[in-house]
Amino acid sequence: MERDEDRLRALQDEMAKYVKELNQNEGNRERIVKELENRYTRSVEQCQALDEVIRKNEHILNEASAATQGLFEKMGCDEMVGLTEYRKNLENVGPGNAHELGSRQ
């Protein structure tokens, strides 16, 4: 009988260890899940911010492209010829006087 009681106590002690370990694992799991959720939220926010930057940059690029196209149309030439012509004229007037290019046409 005493031997059975000792075995029972040993089993209860072992079970208590497992319960403690399970509780620790559950706490770790909850902490890990929360951290992953936080990382996911930050990643989504970063993606949204990058998307906004990309959209703004596309808008700026489109405006610059339209302005460049308008300049080449005013110069009466297509883009590549216009760019070459503009650079050649820029060399002639100097960088500080680029505004004179329009008046020379």
The answer to whether residue 94 sits within a structural domain is no
With beta carbons less than 8 A apart as the criterion, state whether 71 and 86 touch: yes
The answer to whether residue 82 sits within a structural domain is no
Domain enclosing residue 37, as ranges: 2-75
Give mean pLDDT, residues 59-80: 77
List b or e across 10-42, with b for residues whose CB sees 16 or more CB atoms inside 10 angstroms.
Answer: eeeeeeeeeeeeeeeeeeeeeeeeeeeeeeeee
Rg of the chain in Å (alpha carbons): 37
The answer to whether residue 84 sits within a structural domain is no
Q: pLDDT-based confidence at 65, cuts 50/70/90?
A: confident
The answer to whether residue 101 sits within a structural domain is no
The answer to whether residue 85 sits within a structural domain is no
Task: Tally the C-alpha atoms within 13 A of residue 100's C-alpha that lie toward its C-beta.
Answer: 9
- Could you tell me the end-to-end alpha-carbon distance of the chain, in angstroms, rounded to an integer? 114
Specify the number of domains making up the chain: 1
Q: Is the pLDDT of residue 19 over 60?
A: yes
Q: Is the pLDDT of residue 39 over 90?
A: yes
